[in-house]
Chains A and B, each alone.
Chain A
Amino acid sequence: DAGVIQSPRHEVTEMGQEVTLRCKPISGHNSLFWYRQTMMRGLELLIYFNNNVPIDDSGMPEDRFSAKMPNASFSTLKIQPSEPRDSAVYFCASSLGAGGPRGEQFFGPGTRLTVL
C-alpha cells in the first residue's frame, strides 16, 4: 500500500521564482497537513485540511505561501515569489479522521527545497 507521495523530492530554484510542491495523501485519509522542517525551527505546521477544507493556516509564514486541496487525493503548496529563507524540507502528512489517538499522522518523504 502506497504511503504519502510527495513530488518533487528535490527542488532547486532561484529567488523570485514560483515553486509548487505536490502531495498525494494515503487513500481514504481525510486530514492533510503541510509541515516545514529547518535546523533552526524544527518541524512547523504550516496548514492543515480536513475533508479538503483548510482548517487552520495560522502557520503559513506570509502571503507568499498558499495551499490548496482541490480533491481528496491531491494537495499543493505554492511559494510565490520564493526567497532564500524558504529553503527547507517540506513534509506532507495525512491521517484518517481526526488524527491523534484515533489515527496517526503518516508523513511523506519530504521535498528538499533550495532557493538560491
Chain B
Amino acid sequence: QQQVKQSPQSLIVQKGGISIINCAYENTAFDYFPWYQQFPGKGPALLIAIRPDVSEKKEGRFTISFNKSAKQFSLHIMDSQPGDSATYFCAASKSGTGTYKYIFGTGTRLKVLA
C-alpha cells in the first residue's frame, strides 16, 4: 500500500514533442505529490508538486494532471527540449509525526532527441 508505481521506465521523445510520465498509488492518505528531476551525477531537485484538492497544476512547460478517484497522476512536458533529458521521479507523501515522508517511484529516464 506504500508503493508508488511509475511508468514508463524509459522514454525517448523528439524535440518539440510531448513527454508523458505516469504514476499510480494505493494509499488514499497520501496528500502531497511532488515530481523530482535528476541530472546525471546530481541529486534530485523539485520540479513541480500538487495536492489532491486540484486536478491540474501548470508551471511553464510542465503540467501535473491528477486523478484522485483513479489514484493516478502524471507529468506532461510540453515542447520537450534536449535540456529536459534527465531522470524523473514521482513521489507521494503524507504528513506524519510532523514531517513529510516521501515514497518515490522507480524513475523514468527521459531522452529528448535534438
Contact = CB atoms under 8 A, between A and B. Distances in A.
Nearest to A58: B101
Contact of B107 (A43, A55, A93, A109): A43
B99 interface: yes
Contact of A91 (B34, B44, B46): B44
B32 A101 contact: yes
A99 B89 contact: no
B34 A55 contact: no
Given A107-B45, A109-B41, A110-B43, A42 B106 contact: yes
Contact of A101 (B51, B103, B106): B51
Contact of A42 (B41, B49, B95, B105): B105
Given A31-B99, A98-B95, A98-B99, A43 B43 contact: no
Interface of B: 31-32, 34, 36, 41-46, 49, 51, 89, 93, 95, 97-107
Interface of A: 4, 31, 33, 41-45, 48, 50, 55-56, 91, 93, 95, 98-101, 104-110
